[in-house]
Every structure is written in structure tokens, then in C-alpha cells.
Amino acid sequence: MSASSQTNIIWKVLPWLLLIAVLAAFIWVYIDQKTRQQSAWEPPRGETTSIPLNNGRVSDRPEPVTSYHNAVARASRSVVNIYTTQIVQNPYMNDPVLRRFYEFHGQTPQAGQETNLGSGVIVSTDGYIVTNAHVIAQADEIVVALNDGRKAVAKVVGTDPDSDLAVIKVDMSGLEPLAFRELPIEVGDVALAIGNPFGVGQTVTQGIISATGRTGLGVNTYEDFIQTDAAINPGNSGGALVDARGKLVGINTLIFSRSGGSMGIGFAIPTALVEQVMNAIIKDGKVSRGWLGIEVLSQLRDPSQIDNTTGVVVRNIIAGSPAAKSGLKVGDVILSIDGVEMTDSNRLIQHVARKMPHDTLKVQVLRNSKNMNIDITLAERPTQTEVVPPQMPMSNDDPELYLESPEGNANPLSDEQRAQLREELIELFENGARPKVDPLPHQ
């Protein structure tokens, strides 16, 4: 083979040899880097799968949770501060002996003026505001202060002491009503309480929904409270409890406390009840509810027994009431109404309260160990005329429920002290005595 032929063969083979070498080098580098990456340390990582949400429900939790600023900015424009004033007569002037004592000394105690505070929620562009009935109870003047600094005098549209709700109205423009949440709030959802605690100004506190459907607190006639651990204090009454998106879920009403301040157990009236009462007051000026005319008592239950006795015992029947006309008797045990089991008296009260006057209830009762069915046509329930807040405890040994408004002026004299003072004054006037006066100093 000639030299030229060999040279041609080498040039033909050489490119292929170079290509193979380059590929081999590339493969070696790739394998080396892959080995290094696999041996590198990484921190432990948790499961990436999330807990599935309830079917048909949208989560309230922003993803991710970084701030509730947008929700608060939206809702706070609809929450107002409420200031009420009331002329209070001096309690001593109601007693003729004490009045005579003051007149004897040439004194006439003047009437005082009490100022209370609370909160409210704007629910319409034409000035309707929802608050608590106890916030405006017996107020001579109601002043509403908006988030933007504007103020106006409000008039009372109507109150419903049974649910502790009231509607007032201001003549103002540019109002932004707060949207109601459509889906029911659930335990564990984020809750934001907006109000005017202690008069410091609009304040936002954050917590969760601790429970729903709380009843039996003995504060209102109709109770269906939302419980939250968002801080609620005096002045928050009538304010808004909103979700993480700024939608209204309830009206803050009271707390469970040993000291009168927030201890993480607050209660709000849910929007379902607020809407029912609000619409009735705006439309008719009052709330009409069904009424049976009975006094009831829940069946005693033994927590150690697996099978508990349910039902509500009829303790008393008001003469001329729908229950009396239907043939219901004292001692009957109401088992169900309209097919809904009556597990306790609170459930019965709530069920009847949702009905309208003239509605007919199908009541199943137990009488002398026999089941009976009775049809009862409801009448309109008489409404209370005054709101009576629970008494403040004399000590802090036991927790008490407090309506979220400042404590009023207490009577400075007890009954015993007043009686003793009366006796002393009577003796003073009968004996013709004169009060002891220190002599004036000589100049």
C-alpha cells in the first residue's frame, strides 16, 4: 500500500476517533456531577400533601397567610363607634327623707349625665346600622362616629331585647355597608373582631372560631352564639366579627370573664339571626315571633348512662295561650316538633322563635307513657320592653358573663346603709337637733 493511500485512511478515521473521545469525556463528566449531586446533604422535608378541605366549602385561609390588612381595610370602613348619653337623676332625691335632709342644708343635688360607648356595623347605604340593644338602652342621645372621622346623631329604628339587637339610622351619604358572609362560619376559621374597646379608638383583634351554636348562657331569651378567642372588651359591643376576607359573621355581644376583661371567651350573634331581626325591624319596626305560652324544663340527664332521656317537660301553661287552647298539659314531655327532636329547652325555644305567628306546629308529646300528636297554632310572642343586663359579681371567684359595655354607676348606699341613714335623719328632725358646725377661725 502506498504512503498516500495510508494517509487518506488516517484522515478518514481520525474524525471518528476524535468524536468518540469527546463523547467519552462528556459522559464521564456527566456521571461525575450526577454522583456529586446525589451525595450532597439536604435538610429533612415534610409531607407536601395538604389536608383535604370539607366538600363544597371554600377555605377562608389566604394562601399563604401573610396579612389580614385587606380584609381589615375593607371591613373597618363599615364599623362605627357609638357614643350614648343619658340624663341620670340623683338617687337620693327619690327618698323623701333624704330629699328633706338636702333641703335642710340648702342643697339640691343635680341630675348627672352618663356617657357610654359601643360599636355598630353599617348594613345599608341609606344609613341603617346594627348594634346591640343594651348599647343604646335608655339613651337620650346617640352619636355615631365613622371611620373617616365624620359624626352624626342617630335615631332608633327599633330594638329587639330578646336577641339583644337594635337598628339605628343616620342621615349621611357615602356609607359603605359590610357584606354578610354567605356560608356558615366553622370552628377553626380565622376571626377578626373590630370595635372600640374602652374608647381608645377602632381596634382589631385576631383569633379563631372556638365554637358555634352556644346556648344556655342565660343572657338573652334567644341564644345561638358564636364563640371566639379574639379579644373582646367593653366598648366592643355591637362591633363586627369578620372572617379572613372581611365578611361579617357576627355582632360581638358579651364575654365570659372573672375580671370583666377579655379572657379569650367571647360571644357574637351570628349573621343568620342578625339578618332576620334587622329585616323585621326595618320593615315593621319590631320582630314578630311565634309563641307557645309554656314554661319548659329539659329532662335531667345522667352523664354516666349511655342511653339518655331526651325531651322537654312542660312545667307550666299560660292561660289563654296557644298551648292551652291546643290541649297541651302540664307534665307532658315534648319529644319533637315538626319532626325535629327536642333534646333540650334551648332547642325548643330556638325552633319556635324561627316560626311566624299563625304557623301550625306538629308536636309529639309523651303523656302517661303514651305518645300523642298535637297540632298547635302559634300566636305572636309578647316582647320585652327593657333590657336587663346581668348583675356584676361581688367577687372574682367565679367567672361571670358580662355585656360588653362599661359598668354603670352603682348605688353608693346599700339597703342597710340607707335604712340606717333614714333612722338617723328622722331622729335628727324629731329631736330638733342641728348639725354640728365647727367655729370659724378668728382673724
Query: Annotated active-site positions, please?
Result: 134, 164, 237
Task: Decide if 79 contacts 240 (C-beta within 8 A).
Answer: yes
Rounded CA gap, 358 and 22, in Å? 96
Q: Name 383's Cβ contacts closer than 8 Å, sequence gap at least 6.
A: 160, 161, 162, 286, 287
> 3-state SS of the chain: helix, strand, coil percent to 5?
25, 30, 45
Rounded CA gap, 85 and 114, in Å? 6
Please name which of 291, 268, 277, 247 lies closest in space to residue 380, comparing C-alpha atoms.
291
| Cα dihedral 12/17/23/26 (nearest 10) | -130
* Residue with cell string 360588653: 404
Rounded CA gap, 251 and 253, in Å? 6
Q: Name 50's Cβ contacts closer than 8 Å, sequence gap at least 6.
A: none
- Residue positions counted in the chain: 443
